Structure 1
Amino acid sequence: MMDVKQLDLFDLISERHGTIRRILEEKWNEMSDISISNSEWYIMSKVNNKQPTISMVAKNVQISRQAAHKFIKKLESKGLVELVPGSNNRDKCIQLTDLGQICVNKYIVLKHDIEKKISEIVEIEQLKTILRSDWGI
């Protein structure tokens, strides 16, 4: 690992993000037999409490429609999401299955536990405010 003092802002943010994602993945794998990649978690978070189309997921996750379809098929094979008819009966919508919702709820608890640990060292609300603000770029 590179000396943190030598990293610029973008590398620092990326490094911390990677570390947190790795910790989440390890903690999830300790408690579950269902393997879920970071990309799959990201898609599941976009589907949670909604019924987006594959195109909407692709746009929100900023991946190709083909890649979104591939991830959704993998999630479907694991029993985490299902395709349902859309309102116009043309587009298929994605929704979490009961198992998928249980997994997302457990994952949210894991994320909150890690956030709580981080908040012992970092002022989380201030960090969130900074990250949500318009940086003028």
Structure 2
Amino acid sequence: MVIHINYSRKFFHQLLMLYRPFEKRLNTELAKHELHRAQWTIIYYLENINPATLVELSNYQGVEKPTITRTVSQLEERGIVEKVPGKDKREKRMQLTEAGKQFYQEVRKTVDAYEEEILMGISEEELKTAIRMMDDIRKSIIQSGDGEVGTNKN
């Protein structure tokens, strides 16, 4: 199926125009908890998906491992995350501490209120469609090799 180029351009333009104001306002909301988006994304992942290695977190966020290491260290210093043993002695996995789980719930209320506010008037069906579509586009980017982080293709 070929998508008319004008709709494709408009779609991606709108995506870019949405991202920056969303992230700016999200960071304003997260600042109430002395957080920024990259930290929140790690906390979210650890609470909702799995304890993870730094490599898994860097792949999830699409950033290099040193960036994740710094961000995780900040969360560790605050007592939000902790290292736990992995499958073998060399593997270290990160997970939320008990205080981190409580902190997640506090921040979740702030983020939920923000998300509810900006999605007012959009139906659940429209959201499901948008979620599916964004996931399909993300998978297409990754399959084309453009979405991989920290890999050397040469």
TM-score, normalization: structure 1?
A: 0.75
Partner residue, 1:116: 116
Partner residue, 1:9: 11
After TM superposition, the structure 1 = structure 2 runs for residues 31-70 of structure 1, keeping only pairs within 5 Å, are 32=33, 35-49=34-48, 50-70=50-70
Distance 1:103 1:125 in 2: 31
Aligned length in residues: 128
Change (3 A) 1:64 1:126: same
Task: Give the conservation status (yes or no) of the 8 Å contact 1:24–1:110.
Answer: no
Task: Give the conservation status (yes or no) of the 8 Å contact 1:44–1:96.
Answer: yes
Gaps in structure 1 of 5+ consecutive residues? 1-6
Distance 1:23 1:43 in 2: 18
Residue identity over aligned pairs, in percent, reads 22
Partner residue, 1:80: 80
1:24 CA drift (Å) = 2.8
Gaps in structure 2 of 5+ consecutive residues? 1-8, 141-154
1:62 CA drift (Å) = 1.6
Partner residue of 1:22 out of 5, 21, 24 = 24
The aligned amino acid for 2:30 is W
Q: Write the deviation string for residues 36-58 of structure 1: whole angstroms up to 9, x where unpaired.
A: 12111112222225211111111
Please, which moves more after superposition, 73-82 or 21-30? 21-30
CA RMSD of superposed structures (Å): 2.5
The aligned amino acid for 1:44 is I
Partner residue, 1:71: 71
2:105 aligned with 1:129:
no
Task: Give the conservation status (yes or no) of the 8 Å contact 2:54–2:93.
Answer: yes
1:124 CA drift (Å) = 4.8
- Which one has more relative contact order, counting CA pairs under 8 Å at least 6 apart? 2
Please, which moves more after superposition, 70-79 or 121-130? 121-130
Change (3 A) 1:39 1:73: same
Q: Write the deviation string for residues 17-49 of structure 1: whole angstroms up to 9, x where unpaired.
A: 33233323323334x3xx212111112222225
1:68 CA drift (Å) = 1.6
The 3-state SS of whatever aligns with 2:74 is helix
Partner residue, 2:148: none
1:16 CA drift (Å) = 2.3
1:64 CA drift (Å) = 1.6
The 3-state SS of whatever aligns with 1:48 is helix
Task: Give the conservation status (yes or no) of the 8 Å contact 1:80–1:100.
Answer: yes
